[in-house]
């Protein structure tokens, strides 16, 4: 199907893009187009104007400074996956990006588009929640910074206001004794997450001093699995302790577990501990 008619603008800067969003109410930003273009072609979206932010240099790239990793919103999944800095200092993000879709999707799709779109089956939202990332957004009222935990508000719903643009994501680089990983039960056709588990483990004196686990795919927005984190804190990272903690995951999922033709709610609930165990085991190995 063809997309409905719309005007097309190419913004040269964030302020120009913000101005165009204000000037054309009901317009949409275009990043990698991997979600927006299908929506237009299916006529599930009909913006009056599409504002292309793909040539704004300030929105691209990965920099590491003083223990903080800054990722521009227009950085592609392929760039995240290929970054040696991320692989070393923020492994879960590079690992998750490497498993998104296929090479064509990874070469066009961006972290900003993935996060702003907030599809429950996307990989990066859960990763950013587990990494306690901070998201910078810019709009007519200036800049603000939001915690990833509060950014995702529901299915395809974020804290972004109408004229705001997500410009960058900041993540604390791993400290000594810390490791992270992402384990995904991928849909066999699209590779979207049926269940996605992002885990960050901090070790001290041979024990787990803190664990952060975020679950995506099976719930409308990524959630922290506090029930798992609690059981693991202060324990040795043995296979037995990890399995015991992972077994507590459904306690944190509430009654909003999604089900579809591929994987029912009950099925997702029953296999979730397996994927939490895999995520935690990999993160623990990287922390040693």
Ligand X SMILES: Cc1cc2nc3c(=O)[nH]c(=O)nc-3n(C[C@H](O)[C@H](O)[C@H](O)COP(=O)(O)OP(=O)(O)OC[C@H]3O[C@@H](n4cnc5c(N)ncnc54)[C@H](O)[C@@H]3O)c2cc1C
Structure tokens at 161: 């206001």
H-run or E-run covering 202: strand 193-204
Q: Given the complex with ligand X, which of 19 and 33 has the nearer CB atom?
A: 33
Tell the burial category of 125 from Cβ atoms under 10 Å away from its Cβ (0-12, 13-18, 19+): buried
Neighbours of 29 (CB within 10 A): 23
Q: How far is the CB of 1 from ligand X (least distance, A)?
A: 15
Q: Least distance (Å) from ligand X to the CB of residue 37?
A: 6
Q: Rank residues 80 and 237 by Cβ distance to ligand X and give the closer one.
A: 80
Residues forming contacts to ligand X in the complex (CB under 6 A) are: 28-36, 73, 77, 100-101, 105, 108-110, 112-114, 116-117, 122-124, 160, 165-166, 190-192
Q: Of the two residues 81 and 232, which places its CB atom closer to ligand X in the complex?
A: 81
- Residues 106, 81: contact at Cβ < 8 Å? yes
Q: Give, for 64, the enclosing helix (H) or strand (E).
A: strand 62-65
For residue 210, the minimal CB distance to ligand X (Å) is 26
Q: How far apart, in whole angstroms, are the C-alpha atoms of residue 124 and residue 214?
A: 11
Residue 60 vs 191, nearer CB to ligand X: 191
Longest dimension (CA), the chain: 62
* 31 token code pair: 């990043």
Q: How far is the CB of 246 from ligand X (least distance, A)?
A: 22
User: Closest distance between ligand X and the C-beta of residue 208, in Å?
Assistant: 28
Q: Which of 162, 251 has the CB closer to ligand X?
A: 162
CB closest to ligand X, residue no: 113
């Amino acid at each position: 199907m063809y997309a409905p008619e719309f005007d097309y603008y190419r913004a040269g800067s964030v302020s120009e893009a913000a101005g165009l969003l204000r000037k054309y109410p009901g317009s949409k930003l275009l990043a990698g187009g991997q979600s927006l273009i299908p929506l237009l072609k299916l006529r599930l979206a009909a913006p009056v104007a599409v504002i292309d932010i793909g040539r704004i240099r300030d929105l691209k790239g990965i920099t590491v400074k003083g223990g903080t990793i800054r990722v521009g919103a227009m950085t592609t999944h392929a760039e995240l996956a290929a970054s040696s800095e991320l692989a070393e200092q923020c492994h879960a993000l590079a690992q998750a990006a490497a498993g998104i879709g296929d090479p064509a999707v990874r070469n066009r799709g961006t972290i900003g588009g993935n996060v702003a779109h907030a599809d429950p089956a996307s990989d990066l939202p859960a990763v950013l929640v587990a990494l306690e990332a901070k998201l910078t957004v810019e709009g007519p009222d200036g800049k603000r910074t939001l915690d990833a935990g509060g950014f995702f508000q529901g299915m395809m719903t974020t804290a972004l206001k109408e004229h705001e643009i997500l410009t960058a994501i900041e993540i604390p680089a791993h400290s000594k004794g810390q490791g992270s990983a992402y384990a995904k039960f991928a849909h066999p056709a699209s590779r979207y997450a049926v269940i996605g588990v992002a885990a960050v483990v901090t070790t001290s004196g041979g024990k787990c001093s803190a664990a952060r686990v975020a679950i995506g795919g099976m719930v409308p927005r990524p959630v922290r699995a506090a029930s798992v984190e609690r059981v693991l804190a202060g324990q040795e990272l043995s296979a037995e302790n990890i399995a015991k903690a992972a077994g507590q995951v459904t306690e944190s999922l509430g009654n909003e577990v999604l089900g579809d033709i591929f994987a029912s709610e009950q099925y997702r609930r029953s296999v979730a501990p397996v994927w939490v165990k895999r995520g935690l085991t990999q993160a623990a190995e990287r922390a040693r």
